[in-house]
Amino acid sequence: MKNIFLKMLSLTAVISIFVWADAYTDTQPAVGDSAPSFKLQDQNGDWHTLGDYKGKYVVLFFYPKDGTPGCTTEACNFRDNIFAFDDLNTQILGISLDDVDSHKEFSEKYSLPYPILADVEKESAVDYGVLGKFMMMTITKRESFIIDPDGLIVKHYKNVDPDKHTDEVIEELKSLQKKA
């Protein structure tokens, strides 16, 4: 009996390593909806709201954890293209569940020139439908939203490849601005 229990426990552990659990997120805002508001602190302890960026496009990228390989790649790719985003009247905002101190260390280590917001209460992750579990940890899923200058969601990226995402976002912003 003990061996059967240990085998079942091991199988459960292996499955939890490879499977996302979406127990927290039932709904997400849709393209065309008003973007959920937020009030969050950045890596310097300064407060940010979505309203602070009215009149600009906003790229809101949710990522799982400071300092992990995919998150670092994605954050640095946004950093390396910051002038392209400035030219497109776009503010980059990163969000994870990490705290302000973790964000400060991450931001300083990689010289990130944009705010990284600490959603320690998980409110924004829930509002945007990106809260999940991975390996027994509660994290935000790697998803992004483009919000237009009027506060409407105009693009939602559910399957983000950290290596290619920045280029996709720049092309989408160019396309949106040509239409406008």
Q: Is residue 15 part of a domain?
A: no
- The residue range of the domain holding 110 is 20-179
Residue 160 has pLDDT above 60, yes or no: yes
- Residue with token string 């949710």: 62
* Mean pLDDT in residue range 97-122: 98
Predicted confidence (pLDDT) per residue in 5-44, tens digit: 444 434 344 334 334 444 444 589 999 999 999 999 999 9
Q: Is residue 8 part of a domain?
A: no
Of 29, 40, 35, 38, nearest in space to 116 by CA: 40
- Residue with token string 């009996």: 1
Predicted confidence (pLDDT) per residue in 51-77, tens digit: 999 999 999 999 999 999 999 999 999
CATH number reported for the structural domain that contains residue 106 in this entry: 3.40.30.10
Q: Is residue 14 part of a domain?
A: no
* Mean pLDDT in residue range 157-179: 96
Query: Does the active-site annotation cover 76?
Result: no
Q: Is residue 4 part of a domain?
A: no
Give the pLDDT of residue 151. Answer: 97
Give the pLDDT of residue 26. Answer: 57
Q: Is residue 60 part of a domain?
A: yes
Average pLDDT, the chain: 89
Of 58, 62, 36, nearest in space to 117 by CA: 62
Q: Is residue 71 part of a domain?
A: yes
Predicted confidence (pLDDT) per residue in 113-153, tens digit: 999 999 999 999 999 999 998 888 899 999 999 999 999 99
Domain count, the chain: 1
Of 46, 26, 48, 21, nearest in space to 37 by CA: 48
Give the pLDDT of residue 87. Answer: 98
Q: Is residue 134 part of a domain?
A: yes
Catalytic residue among 40, 59, 71, 125, which?
Answer: 71
